[in-house]
Amino acid sequence: MTAGARSPEDQRLRAEQWDHLAHRVFGTGPAFPVRSPFDGQLLTQVPTSTDSEVAAAADLARAAQGEWAARPVEERAQVLLDFHDQLLSALDRIVDLLQLESGKSRVSASEEVLHVAVTARYYGRTARRYLHPERGRGMFPLLTRIDRYQVAKGLVGVIAPWNYPLTMAISDGLAALVAGNAVLLKPDARTPLVSLAAVELLQQSGMPAGLWQVVNGDGDRVGPAVIDQSDYVCFTGSTRTGRAVAARCADRLIGCSLELGGKNPMLVLDDVDVAAAAAGAVRASFANAGQLCVAAERIYVHQSVFDQFCSEFTARTNELVLGRGLAFDYDMGCLISTSQLDRVVAHVEDARSQGAQVLTGGRQRPDLGPLFYEPTILTGVTPTMACCTEETFGPVVSLFPVADEAEAIARANESEYGLNASVWTSDPARGRRVAARIRCGTVNVNEGFAASFGSIDAPMGGMKSSGIGRRQGKEGLRRFVDVQSVATQSLIPIAPSLGLSARGYVAAMVGALRVLKRSGRA
């Protein structure tokens, strides 16, 4: 354990403050043990939900939704703004729980809480503008009026992952909430507590009781039950599971947004500040132990700076401090589970056995805890190696030399995934030009992922096999509403009238359309 960190006994004592959260789950099924990946200690037991309990939770949420949607959007937005303050006031204890539950470093856990606060503030400030009724152009000026209303979907199902159990469970729900919806949340069974704590804070901020329900259990069982009860679904997870979610939603004719897998590229161009790019690569690759949908897993470096970049990147990676404990004494925590560790080990050993070189890392660290693995840099990776094309989702990154900018772009785009990318150059305008040619939902210039992830006005989501739909920004809010058009016709109908025959009506319409075109109207 890192010097200065709190002891496991103190961690256990702190965790006991959150035992009451388990009772906020709508479920009476067999309890699921929630253990800290740091050392396997039991935090608490959380009941699971049966299909009938998922349905009952949905009914309760729907019962509260009508009155909530009828409130002025300003009142709904105020709940989010008050939640922003509540969350920041509770920062330390929420970060404690997030660390214990997910194995994050304290800085990674703190950033996650801050991201949720920023999301709450953004939608609290912008909801009125994005949801306010809009006027459209009618068929005939002055005679036809079009009003567009944003109508809440009803009940939004959120199926959240374990890697960012606060952000991915709560941020989508905040947008759905302020749009007038109820929320039915299924967090990952390994990390339910921090989202339950956030829902508790939302109620303390004025959200009506019953509006946001939480169910728990195995994703293969409870996930489909959530979909079957929802009017719209947000899912974050693997591409394989995302396809199943999309198919089930399609069968019910409901919409969904899916943020799925990634094999994210980083491009280091020939004019780069190597030291800055190497420092950025450390964060882009190893934040949250690489368990981040937008983390860099493949780095394409111009051959003129490849050796220098390798040396600088390796040196900076070797400075990372691994450890566990509730203090800011280390840079990287552990993996979430044995299965995740096994995947990381398998990818590295497969690459090593086929001739890849390990510049640093490549070892488990049982001296720190059962799920720690060193940040690992590979070179000489070929397409036959699993880590070349498959998402590792751990602290492993591969370096590739490229001859020029065109090759870097082509290599970045050859993946089936298209979630996030980054471009590093001393010329930001050049970086933006390169970014526009990369088929990813977000591309950061001279930053790994935080510039887009932390800017809530920047829509985020995947291209290709990395998903559909967007979170954040106006798009992230309006996915939770249906647009209703109300057309009001005045004075004369759009039909034969005023003594016109059918032939005369059509002739008059043709003439009117020609006049409208000359006037420049759409």
Residue type, position 323, single letter: G
According to DSSP, the β-strands at 420-424 and 264-268 are: parallel
Packing angle between helix 106-131 and helix 91-102, nearest 10 degrees?
A: 120
* The pair of three-digit structure tokens given for residue 475, joined into one six-digit string: 């798009």
- Classify residue 519 as exposed, middle or buried by CB count within 10 Å of its CB (0-12, 13-18, 19+): exposed
Indicate the burial class of 58 (C-beta count within 10 angstroms; 0-12, 13-18, 19 or more).
buried
Would you report the helix, strand and coil content of the chain in percent, each value rounded to 5?
45, 20, 35
DSSP summary character for residue 255:
E
- Is 234 a known active-site residue? no
Alpha-carbon torsion (187, 89, 289, 12), positive or negative: negative
- Selected catalytic residue, list 101, 111, 259, 374: 259
Structure tokens at 43: 């935090």
In whole angstroms, give the CA distance from residue 161 to residue 172. Answer: 12
28 forms beta bridges with none
User: Which of 267, 262, 265, 266 minimizes the C-alpha distance to 293?
Assistant: 262
Is residue 16 packed enough to be buried (19+ CB in 10 Å), middle (13-18) or exposed (0-12)?
exposed
Q: Identify the CA nearest to 7 among candidates 39, 44, 43, 42.
A: 39
Tokens 């105020």, located at residue = 78
Report the DSSP pairing between strands 467-468 and 481-489. Answer: unpaired
Helix (H) or strand (E) holding 146: strand 144-152
Structure tokens given for 351: 């690459």
The question of whether 293 is a catalytic residue gets the answer yes
In Å, what is the CA distance from 473 to each residue of 133, 459, 460, 461? 18, 5, 8, 11
Q: Which residue in the list 234, 249, 293, 388 is annotated as catalytic? A: 293
Amino acid (1-letter code) at residue 32: F
Q: Which residues are catalytic?
A: 259, 293
